[in-house]
Amino acid sequence: MTQITLETLIKAPIDQVFDLSLDIDFHKESVSQTQEEAIAGVVTGQIKLGETVTWRGKHLGVWFTHRSILSAYNAPTYFVDEMTDGKFKSFRHEHRFRESETKNETYMTDILSYEVPYGIIGNIINKTLLKQHLTKFLEQRNRALKKALENR
């Protein structure tokens, strides 16, 4: 199991950070380099507990389809999306939010845990390419969230 943990400080109230993090349209904009499109389930607007979204995007030069469900939700502090169908053996992304002391800043923590298929070959690809790619992907998304919310 591989785990990536990132913490991002965003100068915006917790409810705004939480809500924008669930927005399908914003996600598409924030990761446009992968040409991601929501092709089934919730394809626009805000996803809610128990709903699914199927994404199609280009990662590491290859087109992938990934379906996930919003499996846990406690506004405005926590939600989880988990893969229900895709190329990973498992894929779970926890999103945690907490207010700073000033209450106009939010600490957003991503905890992405996943397992790759294909045995030794999968592990080599993960260590040489995939983990770095997913980290950069999350960092780019977080920079876009930060920019959008701090420039309102």
Chain centroid to Cα 43, Å, comes to: 15
Q: Taking the chain, what is the end-to-end CA distance rounded to the nearest angstrom?
A: 38
Tell me the average pLDDT across 57-85: 96
What residue segments make up the domains of the chain, in order of their start?
A: 2-150
As a whole number of angstroms, the distance between CA 99 and CA 134 comes to 26
As a whole number of angstroms, the distance between CA 60 and CA 58 comes to 7
As a whole number of angstroms, the distance between CA 27 and CA 126 comes to 24
2-150 fold: Alpha-D-Glucose-1,6-Bisphosphate; Chain A, domain 4 (3.30.530)
Least confident of 75-79, 99-103, 146-150: 99-103
User: Residue 107: left if φ>0, alpha if ψ -120 to 50, beta else—which one?
Assistant: beta
Model pTM score: 0.93
pLDDT of residue 102: 80
| pLDDT over 90, % of the chain | 91
pLDDT band at 56 (very low <50, low <70, confident <90, very high): very high
Give pLDDT tens digits for 81-110: 999 999 999 999 999 999 998 878 999 999
pLDDT of residue 33: 87
